[in-house]
Copies of this chain bind each other. A is one copy, B any other.
Amino acid sequence: MNREHVQATVTVDLVILTIRDNRLKVLLIERGNQPFQGQWALPGGFIRPDEDIDDAALRELSEETGLEGRHLHLEQVRTYATPGRDPRGRVVTVAYLAVAPDLPMPTAGSDARSAKWANVSRVGSLAFDHADILRDAVEMARSKLEYTTLAAAFCPELFTVSDLRRVYEVVWGTRIDPRNFHRKVVGTKGFLEQSAARRNPLIGRPALLYRRGPATALYPPMLRRSDSLASISSAT
């Protein structure tokens, strides 16, 4: 096996998305070493000898967010292996999309590096091909909102219909009619489970609180209008 075949180093990179201050944010870390020292990059790391990639992604997610990854949404996006994408040699990376509710931790790199939540719409150039990875992962998230209940993964355990609507609006970059949205999500069986509580907003009528239901697929899907796509600016 190790004869003439190319050996590559395998890494896992994470696109961890959350919503803060009504903006879609991604967790970035500042690289402490070469290459790309001082530049911003997606969190990630090397897989271990006897570790599956899903487990490696879960481990990195826990290390970076300090949370039990098992409660967060995590799924593979795709794999990037263009020769030369890492100047140190042949490095193949498997990208994962993670979605989390607004985390208490804004910054706290497990290493000495600094970390930040960056506005997805304002992310400029990143180390390696991470800008491509980010773009692909965000598009995947936007698309998944249509056919799955992924949006609820952005919300804390108890949330209102408005919270959920804000997820769609922020991730898609659109306005959604609150009444039609309410009808749609409340009418979709298994999406939301009503709790006994209500929440008083600073102003306005109190809203019922819900938790995630068992459904993972949305049928029929909630389609974004084609004209609603907000693109990620690759320049600042």
- What is A's interface to B at a CB cutoff of 8 Å? 1-2, 5-10, 46-53, 76, 78-79, 81-83, 86, 88-92, 94, 147, 219-221, 223, 226
Tell me if B10 and A9 are in contact (CB < 8 A): no
Q: How far does the Cβ of A104 sit from chain B's closest Cβ, in whole Å? A: 32
In the complex, what distance in Å separates the CA atom of A91 from the CA atom of B76? 18
Tell me if B83 and A51 are in contact (CB < 8 A): yes
Q: How far does the Cβ of A153 sit from chain B's closest Cβ, in whole Å? A: 19
Tell me if B219 and A220 are in contact (CB < 8 A): no
In the complex, what distance in Å separates the CA atom of A90 from the CA atom of B46? 14
* Complex copy number for this chain: 2
Q: Within 8 Å CB of A49, what residues of B?
A: 6, 83, 90
Listed by A's residue number, 15 A-B pairs whose Cβ atoms lie within 8 Å are A1-B9, A1-B89, A6-B49, A8-B8, A8-B9, A10-B10, A49-B83, A49-B90, A52-B82, A52-B83, A53-B81, A53-B92, A78-B79, A79-B79, A219-B226
Tell me if B79 and A6 are in contact (CB < 8 A): no
Nearest-neighbor residue (CB-CB) of A85 within chain B: B52
Looking at the complex, which one of B10, B83, B219 makes contact with A92 (CB distance below 8 Å)?
A: B10
Q: How far does the Cβ of A24 sit from chain B's closest Cβ, in whole Å? A: 22
Tell me if A7 and B5 are in contact (CB < 8 A): no
Q: Within 8 Å CB of A2, what residues of B?
A: 9, 89
Nearest-neighbor residue (CB-CB) of A89 within chain B: B1
Tell me if B10 and A6 are in contact (CB < 8 A): yes
Nearest-neighbor residue (CB-CB) of A84 within chain B: B50
Looking at the complex, which one of B5, B147, B220 makes contact with A46 (CB distance below 8 Å)?
A: B5
Nearest-neighbor residue (CB-CB) of A91 within chain B: B1
Nearest-neighbor residue (CB-CB) of A6 within chain B: B49
Q: How far does the Cβ of A174 sit from chain B's closest Cβ, in whole Å? A: 16
Tell me if A52 and B81 are in contact (CB < 8 A): yes
In the complex, what distance in Å separates the CA atom of A219 from the CA atom of B220? 13
In the complex, what distance in Å separates the CA atom of A52 from the CA atom of B9? 14
In the complex, what distance in Å separates the CA atom of A29 from the CA atom of B221? 38
